[in-house]
């Protein structure tokens, strides 16, 4: 059967019209999709060679239709998918860039390093994105694509990449809101004595962005030290509020510092082994909103004073 197909393809490519070549491509693609579930890599290889040969010799509409079909097939021919992904026409490349699991990461890296905004936007729609890819997308992708990857909970960010997003959010309120709603931030942790905290002296808003950036870098203790300074309490009180079983002390501390829900949310998510389920996070938000700054400050400073007296 394969030998017959090869002869038919060669004939279509050599003397066939564009319509005939497109029809041949549809025929062989349908044959592959009908048998794809039962094919291993060895069984896919002949189809890879035949379909690739045809794909190189058909017009954009036929290539686009092929891409739509191949984008969602788990064992799609790798060389065909790769060829489609590098196509300059977004109608062809878009479906596989956005959805195909058969693209090698190194190929995606090459594409996002050179491609235009439409191709970058397509890559930003992938369900899972590695740090190597998001590092490039953060700097090269259009605004809508950056916002999309920021809201993608299965997109992975390096410390540098997440910090770059935070910097861009200073001038993009939508991106800032997306980051505030993001449930997952880069892996954080750390303990011991915090190093010097480079918090800019430019008002609470600027300081707050710097605190969130510290959390994004994994420097949670540095972030807590900055919160303690703003709230006017000992650093150890901030550490205890963050590490205790209840998040109530942390809610009071952030409210006393007059910091926002987004900052509190990042610090809650940074608690090791204590990720809150969505319903508890909503409860924390409601408690935070209901608590006045004045009440929080009285409570936090009373608790800090009490702690100092007991220590003495």
Band of residue 274 on the pLDDT scale cut at 50, 70, 90: low
Average pLDDT score over residue span 151-164: 87
* Average pLDDT over every residue of 190-194: 41
Give residue 38's pLDDT.
87
For residue 11, the model assigns a pLDDT of: 59
Contact 39, 6 (CB under 8 A): no
Would you say 266 and 253 are in contact if contact means Cβ atoms under 8 Å apart? no
What's the pLDDT band for 83 if we cut at 50, 70, 90?
very high
Segment 211-236, tens digit of pLDDT = 888 888 788 888 898 898 888 888 88
Q: Report DSSP state, residue 117.
A: H
Of 193 and 3, the structure prediction assigns the larger pLDDT to 3
Tell me the average pLDDT across 238-242: 91
CA distance 227 to 289: 18
Residue 258 corresponds to which tokens in the numbers above? 């007059």
List 129's β-bridge partners, or say none: 155
Q: Any idea where the domains of the chain sit in the sequence?
A: 1-103, 204-311
What sign does the CA torsion over 193, 185, 120, 53 have?
Answer: positive
Higher pLDDT, 73 or 187: 73
Average pLDDT of the residues in 37-60: 91
Question: In the chain, pLDDT over 90 holds for what percent of residues?
Answer: 40
Q: Which residues pair with 219 in a beta bridge?
A: 189
Q: Given CA atoms 198, 201, 204, 205 in this order, what sign does their dihedral have?
A: negative
Residue 196, pLDDT > 80, answer: no
> Residue 105 has what pLDDT?
94
CA distances from 80 to 43, 46, 127, 187 (A): 15, 11, 21, 36
Helices (H), the chain: 2-15, 18-35, 41-55, 60-70, 78-85, 90-99, 105-114, 117-124, 131-140, 143-151, 159-169, 173-181, 204-216, 220-231, 235-243, 248-256, 261-269, 278-290, 293-311
pLDDT on residue 280:
85
Q: Which of the 8 DSSP states describes residue 31? A: H
Around Cβ 295, how many Cβ atoms within 10 Å?
13
Please check the confidence at residue 49 and state whether its pLDDT lies above 80: yes
Residues contacting residue 126 through CB under 8 Å, at least 6 positions apart: 97, 98, 99
More confident residue, 56 or 275: 56
Alpha carbon distance 27, 23 (integer Å):
6
pLDDT at res. 189: 34
Token readout for 102 is 């058969």
Q: What would the pLDDT profile of 106-121 be if each residue is shown by its tens digit?
A: 999 999 999 999 999 9
Give the mean pLDDT of 72-93: 96
Whole-number pLDDT of residue 311: 41
Res. 269: pLDDT tops 50: yes
* pTM given for the model: 0.58
CA distance 216 to 201: 20
Residues near 129 by Cβ (< 8 Å), separated by ≥ 6?
123, 137, 149, 152, 154, 155, 156
What's the confidence (pLDDT) of residue 193? 39
**What's the mean pLDDT in 250-260?**
91
Tokens of 185: 């931030």
Looking at residue 298, its pLDDT comes to 86
- Cα distances from 171 to residues 166, 174, 183, in angstroms, run 10, 9, 22
Integer CA distances (angstroms), 249 to 154, 180, 252, 292, in order: 30, 21, 5, 14
Q: Rounded to whole angstroms, how far apart are CA atoms 152 and 179?
A: 10
- How far is it, in rounded angstroms, from Cα 96 to Cα 122? 9
pLDDT for residue 186: 54
pLDDT score recorded for residue 3 = 62
CA distance 61 to 2: 26
């Amino acid at each position: 059967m394969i030998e017959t197909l090869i002869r038919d393809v060669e004939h279509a490519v050599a003397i066939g019209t564009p319509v005939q070549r497109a029809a041949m491509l549809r025929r062989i693609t349908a044959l592959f999709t009908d048998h794809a579930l039962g094919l291993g890599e060895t069984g896919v290889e002949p189809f890879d060679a035949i379909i690739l040969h045809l794909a190189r010799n058909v017009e954009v509409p036929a290539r686009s239709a092929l891409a739509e079909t191949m984008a969602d097939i788990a064992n799609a021919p790798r060389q065909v998918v790769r060829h489609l992904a590098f196509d300059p026409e977004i109608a062809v490349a878009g479906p596989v860039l956005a959805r195909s699991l058969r693209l090698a990461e190194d190929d995606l890296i090459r594409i996002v390093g050179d491609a235009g905004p439409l191709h970058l936007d397509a890559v930003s729609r992938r369900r899972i994105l590695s740090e190597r890819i998001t590092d490039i997308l953060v700097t090269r992708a259009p605004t809508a694509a950056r916002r999309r990857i920021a809201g993608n909970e299965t997109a992975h960010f390096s410390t540098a990449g997440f910090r770059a997003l935070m910097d861009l959010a200073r001038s993009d309120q939508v991106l800032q809101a997306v980051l505030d709603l993001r449930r997952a931030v880069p892996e954080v942790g750390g303990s011991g004595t915090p190093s010097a905290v480079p918090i800019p002296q430019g008002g609470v808003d600027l300081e707050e962005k710097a605190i969130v950036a510290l959390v994004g870098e994994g420097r949670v203790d540095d972030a807590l030290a900055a919160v303690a300074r703003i709230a006017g309490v000992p650093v150890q009180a901030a550490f205890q509020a963050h590490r205790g079983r209840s998040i109530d002390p942390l809610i009071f501390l952030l409210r006393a510092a007059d910091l926002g829900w987004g900052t509190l949310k990042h610090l809650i998510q940074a608690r090791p082994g204590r990720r809150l389920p969505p319903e508890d996070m909503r409860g924390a938000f409601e408690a935070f909103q209901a608590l006045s700054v004045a009440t929080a400050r009285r409570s936090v400073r009373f608790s800090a004073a009490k702690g100092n007296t007991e220590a003495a």
